[in-house]
Amino acid sequence: MKKLLPLFNILIFSTCLTFAQQTESYDYSRSNREMIQYGVQAVLCCNALFTSNRSLEQAYDKELKYLKQPIGSVQGGDYTIDLNKKTVTIGTTERGQVMRAVFREGIGCIIMAPDQNFERIDDLPIQILPPLSGDPTTILWPEGDLMKKQKPPKYIDVDLLDAASTWSFERKSPEQVTLSLIVVHKGQIIHERYAEGIDMNTKTRTWSTAKSIAVTLIGMLVDQGKMDLDAPLGIEWLPKEKTSENDPRADITLRNVLNMSSGLYTVDSRRMEYATGSGLSYWAGASSVNGARNRGLIRRPGTYWDYENYDTILGVLAMKNALGDDKSYLEFPRTALFDKIGMRNTFVSTDRFGDFIFSSQVYTNARDLARFGLLYEQNGVWNDERLLSEKWIDFVRTPAPATAQRGNFYGGQWWLVPDGRNDIPKDAYTSAGNRGQYVIVVPSYDLVIVRRGLDYGKQGFNKWDLTREVLKAFPVGYKATDE
């Protein structure tokens, strides 16, 4: 028997090695991905029809181009649209998967939970505020849409400005689809162009450009002393425990989450956005707030930059707590910002629990985003009223400390010119949203550039390249202070 022991040991070792070499390749989130795929189509189609007032043909041609395998086609399929109730249902019970979205006044389309039907519509949030007074077609820009008949300043090369516009619209890649381009200089629109089927009233999703709007509202409350940039968030973390005295997440500050440096476990950067995490609240009816609070700390706050939708949602939750009640919270974007600067076409969507999905789901048009960018270009002042402090604008433009070794490319929910980029002014900064949503502010040129897109596939439209192309229309060495 002793002669067999070495062979036996080899077999044991070989067997253990075989087990050790196995990898977990099965997609245990497959059912979630399918549910979210249906939910994405429900939300995008619902908003295209009832928020953007676009046709089903336009929705399939542009909005749903984002999906690899949309359900059905313009001719029909496993979906139902109710034009009277303003609802969209994707899937059928026979297929085993059904997701439903419904338009709500003042909010846009809300995705329902898989086990909810339209009998529960009245339980969903709604925002009914009177529209901003006045007819925008009779009010001069920027408060309204009436434009003075004036030419760009003589020092602007109109041909080069048109060339920049052509560069934006006529892309080599069919996946880069520019819908609109607006260039604002010294407060006046000097170039405006729209793709076929789009006009100045067309509202589309901002995706993560919403984050830059959210941080503006948060900044207003910080300016008022109702929030503190360097104080702990002060939220109740999940899972709930009998005592939370030793929860290390209690040290996470507002600055940490706005700098995308919370230290919490991330979902989006791990290719799980459309399986778990924020994807479940965006597209499947889960609570955005509960998902954001239910993450563990894996790094010391402030030490590592990692882009995460949930970090923004935590900041917005702290904003909700600071405002104190649901009514004030739901009305705050309108009363504090949108109505102040004439953003009449902007909806901030919520999840079905009434919490703003301010990390992505805002619907607006190009001119409203131009107004928003102009507020920043004017250092937070609008019609001689200071809406946002210069101190807060300095914060959003200051590189997050955790990006110092990686190029100083991100501030407070705004993107910055990275260290290696030397062909555009270093004071430029921009919002950035999926599918090519940009509000670019260049203070040294008194310039705001808005590009809206419905890019799909690999995308790749470069915001800083666009800035470079527009700046070619200005004289070499131009400085706003020279005028």
Per-residue pLDDT of the chain (483 residues; tens, 9 = 90+): 455 556 556 555 555 556 667 777 888 888 899 999 999 999 999 999 999 999 999 999 999 999 999 999 999 999 999 999 999 999 998 878 899 999 999 999 999 999 999 998 999 999 999 999 999 999 999 999 999 988 999 999 999 999 999 999 999 999 999 999 999 999 999 999 999 999 999 999 999 999 999 999 999 999 999 999 999 999 999 998 877 678 999 999 999 999 999 999 998 877 777 888 899 999 999 999 999 999 999 999 999 999 999 999 999 999 999 999 999 999 999 999 999 999 999 999 999 999 999 999 999 999 999 999 999 999 999 999 999 999 999 999 999 999 999 999 999 999 999 999 999 999 999 999 999 999 999 999 999 999 999 999 988 999 999 999 999 999 998 877 655
Measured CA to CA, the distance from residue 299 to residue 259 in angstroms comes to: 14
Domain definitions of the chain by residue range: 30-123, 194-482
Q: What's the CATH number of domain 194-482, 3.40.50.360, 3.20.20.70, 3.40.710.10, 3.30.1280.10?
A: 3.40.710.10
Contact 129, 334 (CB under 8 A): yes
Among positive and negative, which fits the CA dihedral 216, 220, 223, 228? negative
What integer pLDDT is reported at residue 387 of this predicted model? 98
The length of the chain, given as a count of residues: 483
Contact 359, 210 (CB under 8 A): yes
What integer pLDDT is reported at residue 269 of this predicted model? 78
Contact 305, 404 (CB under 8 A): no
